[in-house]
Structure 1
Amino acid sequence: MAADVEIADLAALLAELKGRSGLSYGTLAKRLHLSPSTVHRYCKGEGLPPEFATVERFARQCGATAEELMELHRRWIAADTARERDRRAPEPEPAAVAPAAPVPAVAAVPPARRRWRPGAVVGAVAAATALTLAAGLLLALRDDDEDQAAQRQPPPAGDGPAPVAVTVRPHAFESPCGNHYLVDADPESVPPPPHEPEAPGWARAMGAVPAGRQYVELTIQGTGDETVVLRDLHVRVTRADEPLPWNLYTGYSACGGGPVDTAAFDVDLDAAAPALTAGADQSELPLWVDESDPLVVYVTARTEAHDVDWYLDLEWSSGDREGVLRIDDEGEPLRTSATSGQPEWGFLLGGTDWYPAPTG
C-alpha cells in the first residue's frame, strides 16, 4: 500500500536518530512512556505513531536538530496522509458474471493520489506585554481526530460553508516535560501531571489554567479544491484581570528535552492596531492553503501580569468570497494567567507525589 513507503521513510530517520543517540529501546521507551516493543516497531516501520507529538518527543530525546525535526514532521504528515487515503480507497467491485459465460472482472479504479507538497517553514515569536503571541508556521497536513482537544471551527453564518477549517489543540506540549498549570486545589487533590493526549481532559477536570504561557496548535486547511488566502490573523483580548493566586503545578521534573525555537512574527499588543510583523527571512501574511497544502500554526501566548481571556480572528478570502473565522477553545475564550509568587509544585518522573519545587 502507498502508506508502507511513507512509513518506511519515517522509520528510517527515527532509526538513524536512535542509533546516533546511543540510547537503548528500553531507555527510550521509559522516557517516552511507551513499551520497548512499540518503540522498536516505530523504528522498523511496522507501525505509525498516532500523533506527531510522539515523534517529536522521540526526536528530542535523541538530540535531533531543528532541521531534523522539520523533516520528521514532513515525513510523519506524508505517512499519516497516505495511511488515511489507503483506508478511504474504494473496495474493488465484484466480478460481473453473465448467465452463459463468465465476464472478466473490472475493478474500480481508486481516485488519483494527490501528493503532499512540502512548503517553506515560517515561524512566529511575539513581544511580551499583558499577552504576547508567537506563532510558528509550518506548511503541513495533520488529521488529529484522536486528540480530545481537537475541534473544527464552525463556518461563518449567512454565506454558506467556509472553504477553510481550523483544528485547535489548546493544550499542545511545547516541552516533553509537560505544561505548567494553575489549579485551585492542594497537591493531595491533584492527580499526576498528564501526558499530552490526556492534557485537555486533565485541565478540564481540574479547572486548570495554563500558567505564564500557553502553547496552542492550529491546523488551517482548505475544505475544497479552491485556494484560500489567509489574509491576516488578529489577537483579541476580551478580559485582563489580576493573576490567579492558585497553586502552580510545573509538570514532570528530570524528563529531559526542551522546546525548539522557531522564528519569527512579532505582535505588539500595546499598538493601536496590533498586527503581525514578519521577522528576517520569514514570509509575510497573506499565506495560502488548499485541501492538499494546509498550514500548521503554533501560537505561544505569554503573560507576565494578567489573567487573560483571548481568541484569534482569521481573515480569509477565496475567489469573490471572504470572511472571518474565530479561533477559540470549543466556543470559549482561550485563557492564560501569569504567576504571582504562589506555591510551586513539581512531580518527579516515575514518582508518586507532588513535592515543593525550588523557586530560586
Structure 2
Amino acid sequence: MVEPTQPPQTEGEQAAGAVRSWWRRNPTLRNWISGVTSAVVVTVISGAVLAWLNLDDKPEGPGEQPASPSAAADGPPFAVDVLYRGGTCSPYLVDADPGSLTSPHTDPNRPLREQPTEDELIAWMHEVKAVPTHGRVVVTVLGGSGKSVVLQDLTVEVVERRPAVDQATVFTAESGCGEGALPRLFDVQLGADRPSLRPYAGKDEAGNVIPAVAFPFTVSEADPEIFEITADPGGCDCTWRLRLRWVADGRSGTLVIDDNGRPFRTAGFAEASARKYTDRISSGDCEGTTWCEDPLP
C-alpha cells in the first residue's frame, strides 16, 4: 500500500511550524496567554455592564452622545509580553564591589557550572541595576480581537548614544553557552549610523534550522508570533526602544516596546581597562567567594 505524500513545505511554513511546536511545548507561555485572554474577556464584559448602567442612570439630554467605549478599545487589538535580559554568557556592567555583590543563583548549594534560571537572572538584574553588554529582547505577540492583525514592521529607535564605558567592572553570571529554546530571529548593531533589524536563521530545540523570515507577520488568538532581538552595542553605551507598526480591521497604529516605560540600555565597555568576574557557581574555579576574578589574558 502506498502512503499518501504531502507537498513539500515552504521556508515560511517550516519556520511557522517550528515556532508553533515550541509554543506547544511551553506551558508557562500558554498559561500567560490564557490569563491575558481571560482578562480581556472580563474587561469587555465589565465595560459593557458599566456602559449599560450609565445609560440607564443618566438619560441622554439634548445633543448628548451615548457613553463612549472604554479607553482599552482604543489600544492595540493584541497583547504583548516583553522579556529583556543580557545575552547568554555575556557579561553585565554593575557598579558594585565584587565582595558585596549578590549572586543571581538564589540557592548557594546549587551544583557547580549550572546556569541561573531566567527568573533569577532578571530579578538579579533589577536588584543590582545590572546593564547588559549584549541585549536580548523576546517579544511575544498574541492577537486578541477575534480577527487577524498584520504586524507590518519592527524598527529600532536609539534614544541616546554615549561612548563605551571605561574602567568598567563586569560580571558574567552564566557559562556553557549554547543554542537557546527559541531561534534568534533578528539582530541589530546599535552603533551603526542607522541601526535596523536584520533577520537571520536560527535553530529550534531539536536542532532544526529555522530560516530567516522578514516582516510582515500575521497574528491571531490561535496563532501568536515570538520575536527575539539580539542587540550588539559595538562601541557605544546606548539606550534604545522598538516600534511595532500594525494594521487590523481598518485601524492602524504604532506600539512602543521598551523596558517597562524606560528605554532598554545596552552598553559596550573598554576591554583593556575592565576588571572581569564570573559567578563561582557558573565558573567552579574558586572557593570562599561569590565572584571569581577572571585571570588576565
On the 8 A contact 1:252/1:348 being kept in 2, the answer is no
Match of 1:181 among 83, 92, 103: 92
User: Is residue 230 of structure 1 aligned with residue 151 of structure 2?
Assistant: yes
Cα gap change, 1:273 to 1:347, in 2 (>3 Å): closer
User: Is residue 319 of structure 1 aligned with residue 256 of structure 2?
Assistant: no
- Tell me how far apart the structure 2 counterparts of residues 299 and 161 of structure 1 sit (CA, whole Å): 24
Deviations 1:249-268 (A, max 9, x none): 01145xx3423594655657
Match of 1:202 among 124, 137, 155: 124
SS in 1 for 2:147: coil
User: Is residue 221 of structure 1 aligned with residue 142 of structure 2?
Assistant: yes
Aligned to 1:161: 75
Q: 1:340-351 residue pairs with structure 2 within 5 A?
A: 340-341=270-271, 342-349=274-281
Gaps of 5+ in 2: 1-17, 39-70, 106-115, 202-210
- Tell me how far apart the structure 1 counterparts of residues 20 and 218 of structure 2 sit (CA, whole Å): 21
Match of 1:305 among 235, 246, 262: 235
User: Is residue 248 of structure 1 aligned with residue 185 of structure 2?
Assistant: no
Aligned to 2:108: none
Aligned to 2:290: 353
Cα gap change, 1:223 to 1:179, in 2 (>3 Å): farther
Aligned partner of 2:291: which letter? Answer: W
Aligned to 1:143: none
Cα gap change, 1:158 to 1:271, in 2 (>3 Å): farther
- Tell me how far apart the structure 2 counterparts of residues 266 and 331 of structure 1 sit (CA, whole Å): 22
- Tell me how far apart the structure 2 counterparts of residues 250 and 215 of structure 1 sit (CA, whole Å): 15
Deviation at 1:204, TM superposition (A): 1.8
Deviation at 1:71, TM superposition (A): 8.2
- Tell me how far apart the structure 1 counterparts of residues 190 and 128 of structure 2 sit (CA, whole Å): 30
Deviation at 1:174, TM superposition (A): 4.8
Cα gap change, 1:204 to 1:344, in 2 (>3 Å): same
Number of aligned residue pairs: give it: 218
On the 8 A contact 1:174/1:258 being kept in 2, the answer is no
- Tell me how far apart the structure 1 counterparts of residues 33 and 192 of structure 2 sit (CA, whole Å): 44
- Tell me how far apart the structure 2 counterparts of residues 283 and 221 of structure 1 sit (CA, whole Å): 18
Cα gap change, 1:216 to 1:337, in 2 (>3 Å): same
Aligned partner of 2:142: which letter? Answer: Q
Deviations 1:261-286 (A, max 9, x none): 94655657688765545558533311
Aligned partner of 2:179: which letter? Answer: P
- Tell me how far apart the structure 2 counterparts of residues 180 and 81 of structure 1 sit (CA, whole Å): 31
Aligned partner of 2:22: which letter? Answer: H
**TM-score w.r.t. structure 2 length?**
0.62
Aligned to 1:81: 30
Deviation at 1:203, TM superposition (A): 1.6
**TM-score w.r.t. structure 1 length?**
0.52
SS in 2 for 1:81: helix
- Tell me how far apart the structure 2 counterparts of residues 158 and 82 of structure 1 sit (CA, whole Å): 22
Gaps of 5+ in 1: 1-68, 90-156
Aligned to 2:179: 259
